Amino acid sequence: MTGGKRIMGLPSIRRMPMYYRLLARELEAGRTQISSAYIAEALGMEPIVVRKDFTLFGIIGKPKIGYETEEALQVIDSLMNSRDSNEAFLVGVGNLGQALLSYRGFEHMGLDLIAGFDVDSDIVGRRIQGREIFALVELPRLAKRLHVKTGILCVPEEAAQDCADAMVDAGIEGIWNFAPVRLQVPDYVVVQNEDLAEGLAILIVKLNQSKREGIQRTN
Amino acid sequence: MTGGKRIMGLPSIRRMPMYYRLLARELEAGRTQISSAYIAEALGMEPIVVRKDFTLFGIIGKPKIGYETEEALQVIDSLMNSRDSNEAFLVGVGNLGQALLSYRGFEHMGLDLIAGFDVDSDIVGRRIQGREIFALVELPRLAKRLHVKTGILCVPEEAAQDCADAMVDAGIEGIWNFAPVRLQVPDYVVVQNEDLAEGLAILIVKLNQSKREGIQRTN
DNA sequence: TCTATATCGATATATTAATATCGATATAGA
DNA sequence: TCTATATCGATATTAATATATCGATATAGA
């Protein structure tokens, strides 16, 4: 590991988007103050986890009142936006890539997908949700010119490492990797691996357990 | 919670697909025996974690040798396949739904996506990767007739709860939920929530930290 | 056959995360 | 003004997870 001790735990970070969405919705609905109990109830969690997370995030509440919804929202927003920009390129405009390009809900999380890249000449030149799709060979030039530092990688397994290399060469420093491959990158590059199969594995194992219990119960 | 203590920890379950893919690849390549050190190296983790997981999975190795690749593969496969079947319906054939329908890589994980459902008449009747897309109203009838118990939910936020209700009515007992909504379901229904924004949040926070360190380093 | 060694797996420890307890405090209402 | 109470946040405890240590053992090679 490249060092750099974690300021807050990964579980807390994972919960940020969930908090964000709830707070935004509640503020919209006119709830200017909100308690940990209310948040926990809405999100199916324990109030104490909310309070611990918020303390960690630097959100300060008031006894008897709770938290200022807007302030909490802004703090979480700033934690997810504090870099100069979160402009990103998406590499690999297949089904998943298109889905990510079309997904509204990353924008308010600080991600600004400005273009897609692919090798498939059928798709190069098209626009998806207003974002132009360029040939992969254009990546270095455009990344450098636009100073884009973040890339989303959703190419097939076989192409992943080559694409990652190209991205790194182009100056990309953060890769959100959807290919089931452990990418080899320089130390300064941050990689976040996303493995859709993980969630599926959990569902299946849970179902197996639940079924086994069911059998025991009816025996 | 519905009770039912976990047999093995969630982190170990999450690592199963990763092990599975590596073992399949190595077996393919002719490596019939494999050590925890080798696996760890290939996956960027610690050997001791591999050994602990394998012990948990019930995979037994031999000193000086390691594990039988094929046996390990089969054990993990059986853990992810042991129900009667993992046939599933996909509800919401938008961009993400289409991506999931097209994704090869769930099949060998025990998931058999047999059909899609949507309300959009433009897409109903089409076929995606050989799977027919039906109108959502057909879900109860088909789920009951085919005894499908698993559903993948990738509809927009607003529609998620209604669709979940319909799925539960139709006899679905396991929902892989991609909508950023806490679904209200009966106790016996297992829900696995997938929040793509989580990974993004982690990437962004890591980048922020990495950048902050970078600034400190160059000062 | 015997010895050296790679590797597992059991036990112990450390780290991280979740949960519980409870005093402090800001507001609402008497 | 005073009191009751909801709620935070600090501290303590417990549980889960990751990591370390080391003895046991199966094989390779002398």
Residues within 7 Å (Cβ) of strand C: A 6, 9-12, 45-46, 48-49, 52, 62-65; B 35-37, 47-48, 51, 54-55, 59-67
Q: Which of residues 64-83 of A touch B (CB under 8 A)?
A: 79-83
Q: How high is the pLDDT of residue B83?
A: 63
Q: A2 or B164: which carries more pLDDT confidence?
A: B164
Q: Which CATH class is domain A87-197?
A: alpha beta
pLDDT of B34-73, one tens digit each? 999 999 999 999 999 999 999 999 999 999 999 999 999 9
Residue A215 has pLDDT above 70, yes or no: no
Q: How high is the pLDDT of residue B108?
A: 82
Q: Which CATH class is domain A10-81?
A: mainly alpha
Q: How many angstroms separate the CA of residue A211 from the nearest CA in chain B?
A: 8
Q: Following DSSP, what letter does each residue of B77-125 receive, concatenated?
A: HHHTT-SS--EEEEE--SHHHHHHHH-TTSGGGT-EEEEEEES-TTTTT
Q: How many angstroms separate the CA of residue B156 from the nearest CA in chain A?
A: 10
Q: How many angstroms separate the CA of residue A176 from the nearest CA in chain B?
A: 7
Position B23, amino acid: L
Which CATH architecture fits B10-79? Answer: Orthogonal Bundle (1.10)
pLDDT tier at B161 (50, 70, 90 boundaries)?
very high
User: Cα–Cα distances in Å, from B129 out to B75, B106, B135?
Assistant: 29, 13, 17
Q: Alpha-carbon distance A120 to A94, whole Å? A: 9
Q: Does B16 touch chain A (CB under 8 A)?
A: yes
Q: Does B171 touch chain A (CB under 8 A)?
A: no
Q: Alpha-carbon distance A163 to B159, whole Å? A: 36
pLDDT tier at A183 (50, 70, 90 boundaries)?
very high
**Which token pair is A1?**
């590991």
Report domain extents, chain B: 10-79, 87-197
pLDDT tier at A115 (50, 70, 90 boundaries)?
very high
CB distance B98–A94 less than 8 Å?
A: no
Q: What is the mean pLDDT of residues B197-212?
A: 90
Residue A123 has pLDDT above 80, yes or no: yes
What is the H or E stretch that residue A101 is in? helix A95-102
Residue A2 has pLDDT above 80, yes or no: no
- Rounded (to 5) percent helix, strand, coil in chain B: 50, 15, 35
Q: Do the beta carbons of residue A39 and residue A50 sit within 8 Å?
A: yes
Query: What is the separation of C-alpha B183 from the centre of its chain, rounded to a whole number of angstroms?
Result: 18
Q: Do the beta carbons of residue A118 and residue A133 sit within 8 Å?
A: yes
- Phi first, then psi, for residue A33 (nearest 5°) are -125, 145
CA of A42 to C1' of D18 (A): 32
What is the H or E stretch that residue B17 is in? helix B10-28
Position B214, amino acid: G
pLDDT tier at A84 (50, 70, 90 boundaries)?
low
CA atoms within 13 A on the CB side of A105: 18
Q: B210 or B136: which carries more pLDDT confidence?
A: B136
Residues within 7 Å (Cβ) of strand D: A 35-37, 47-48, 51, 54-55, 59-67; B 6, 9-12, 45-46, 48-49, 52, 62-65
CA of B94 to C1' of D3 (A): 59
pLDDT tier at B112 (50, 70, 90 boundaries)?
very high
Q: How high is the pLDDT of residue B151?
A: 98
Q: Which of B15, B172, B10 is nearest to A180 (CA)?
A: B15
List protein-proximal bases of chain D (any atom < 7 A from a CB).
Answer: 5-10, 16-21, 23-27
Chain B: residue whose CA lies nearest to A203: B192
Q: What is the mean pLDDT of residues A13-41?
A: 97
